[in-house]
Chain A
């Protein structure tokens, strides 16, 4: 009995007129009248507050610091553009730029096509276990980079590692110093990047492929186009927006690569795997050259910005795709 009594009014309140209906002039306060114009500003304000405090202010402070010499204590000493001049002649900095370029080129030329290939395979009609494959390939990005690099450190181990053991068993040679030899260390970092990011990029291509209408393929097949031809003439043009998105994301992210070389090789041996972000980290937080680190940060920003814009032009992001 009591149940029906209590539920009734609640039900009535939900469907019927709301108890405080805006209509009586006394209740239409200033906020009530203007809320529709002001609400969006209120809704976005937290973002811009945080944006100002934690992005805009740091960018300008960074620009200022990049023209100073400062170890974190006392007042920064103004040195003008000297940090930039020093950077351009700093051998370590150029090494880090070269390594980062290698990582970016590798990701664009190997990881992205590999992801596309895997997506193409996963998109096969009537494939069983697609979800299992897709999820397992994606898993590496879910896992803490420190765990991943730790495991890969074990696998790459010169004496006891799985990699050398497998090579030895298969081809009778082994003993590659994966992490200790400069050239191999770069290969190791690149393998790790491949392992960690391919599955992540695959899901973007797969989503793009699933949006390509089947009729397009059927029409092309009727015209006598083979699978390779269909891939070039149907799949690739249809995937242009996704490819552009993936390429720009990869470019911007890989230019800032830190986790893989830092954890796997600490930038070594020597500086053979050092990335630009690692260079900044080392200068700022291990050598207390905060101004110098800020200047390198500004250069990285300019490079990423220019390259990103260039890539967007070339790939036509924002242009209509058809």
Chain B
């Protein structure tokens, strides 16, 4: 009896569905916002520190805001080091890899999804299992091969060996299966479309969101890659952005001030690409995992 009057006196509690407990909600949001800070703070910290003078970066206790703010680090980096050259090489290499892998992966993914051919299962298994070969196994021989062939230029060595990743083919196959109806292909064939024409005129337009996912994934993988460029590119005139920053950081006594400025600038393209194509990327990455 008392409990009934208690609830009827509190109209807010009565109207709300029982499931929503305000305390639980508050806790949930507190948890998620705390995590938000954990993931965002280091980057904001770098942004702030990049505007501090060299001495202020290492002040104690650490100051959250750059007071006084200075552009000295950016000036020092851009004036004294070939930052734009690094950025250019990184971007060109990443764009080349992206264009090639989008083309090759979607072509192969289309073949695996929409054709029945001899040896298909064996070929698919070979392709799929190549994902499990560790990079460390092939790195030494691959380097020897590339070096002996004098092909250590970034435009070859950082692009060609990596343009047809099995992961990309697998992802594209899943998407073609989901989004390209067989009837549409048959109709186009009746109209006299060639097989490559099918790919270009029917499949590619339908695949657009998936292509976005693969493109941003390829771009970021290439743009951020470190170990292989570190091994294969030895000429400082051909450094990619990560190599340039690594050199700046490693060689002459940890130039934190310059590297912080470089980091902030280096992150801009990747964040830009990520935010422009975020939805495609997240959905594309998980498409294969959830289904199989």
A189 → chain B closest CB, angstroms:
15
Q: Is the CB of B130 within 8 A of A55?
A: yes
Segment with Cβ contacts to B, from A2-10, A103-111, A146-154: A146-154
Residues of B238-260 at the interface with A, using a CB-CB cut-off of 8 Å, are 241-242, 245-246, 249, 256, 259-260
In chain A, what residue has the closest Cβ to B290? A207
A256 with B45, Cβ < 8 A, contacts A44-B112, A140-B39 known: no
A300 with B192, Cβ < 8 A, contacts A150-B259, A285-B231 known: no
Interface centre among A17, A144, A169 (most CB of B within 10 A): A144
A177 → chain B closest CB, angstroms:
16
Interface centre among B136, B164, B231, B282 (most CB of A within 10 A): B136
Listed from nearest, the 4 A-B pairs whose CB atoms lie closest are A39-B195, A61-B141, A207-B286, A43-B111
Encoded as 1 (CB less than 8 Å from any A CB) or 0, chain B from 272 to 292 comes to 001100100011011001101
Which residues of A have CB within 8 Å of B22? none
B92 → chain A closest CB, angstroms:
17
Q: Is the CB of B134 within 8 A of A145?
A: no
Q: Is the CB of A154 within 8 A of B57?
A: yes
Assuming A41-B111, A259-B227, what are 11 further A-B pairs, CB within 8 angstroms?
A: A18-B191, A22-B192, A40-B120, A47-B127, A62-B137, A136-B36, A146-B249, A162-B45, A195-B39, A204-B289, A256-B134
Please classify the interface of chain A as helix (H, G, I), strand (E, B), loop, or mixed, using the class held by over half of its residues.
helix
Segment with Cβ contacts to B, from A86-94, A179-187, A228-236, A276-284: A276-284
B285 → chain A closest CB, angstroms:
7
Residues of A31-45 at the interface with B, using a CB-CB cut-off of 8 Å, are 32, 35-37, 39-41, 43-44
A9 → chain B closest CB, angstroms:
17
Q: Is the CB of B192 within 8 A of A134?
A: no
Residues of A116-132 at the interface with B, using a CB-CB cut-off of 8 Å, are 118, 121-122, 124-127, 129, 132
B40 → chain A closest CB, angstroms:
6
Q: Is the CB of A151 within 8 A of B39?
A: no
Answer yes or no: B14 CB below 8 A from chain A CBs.
no
Q: Is the CB of A290 within 8 A of B123?
A: no
Count of chain A residues with Cβ under 8 Å from any Cβ of B? Answer: 101
Q: Is the CB of A137 within 8 A of B117?
A: no
Bound Cα distance A258, B135 (Å)? 11
A297 with B270, Cβ < 8 A, contacts A122-B32, A146-B245, A241-B292 known: no
Q: Is the CB of A300 within 8 A of B136?
A: yes
Q: Is the CB of A147 within 8 A of B263?
A: yes
Bound Cα distance A169, B285 (Å)? 41
Encoded as 1 (CB less than 8 Å from any B CB) or 0, chain A from 228 to 263 comes to 000000000000011001100000100110110011
A165 with B62, Cβ < 8 A, contacts A150-B263, A276-B136 known: yes
Bound Cα distance A154, B192 (Å)? 63
B13 → chain A closest CB, angstroms:
17
Encoded as 1 (CB less than 8 Å from any A CB) or 0, chain B from 184 to 209 comes to 00000101111110010000000000
Q: Is the CB of A65 within 8 A of B141?
A: yes
In chain B, what residue has the closest Cβ to A207? B286
Answer yes or no: A269 CB below 8 A from chain B CBs.
no
A304 contact from B104, B126, B132, B282, Cβ within 8 A: B132
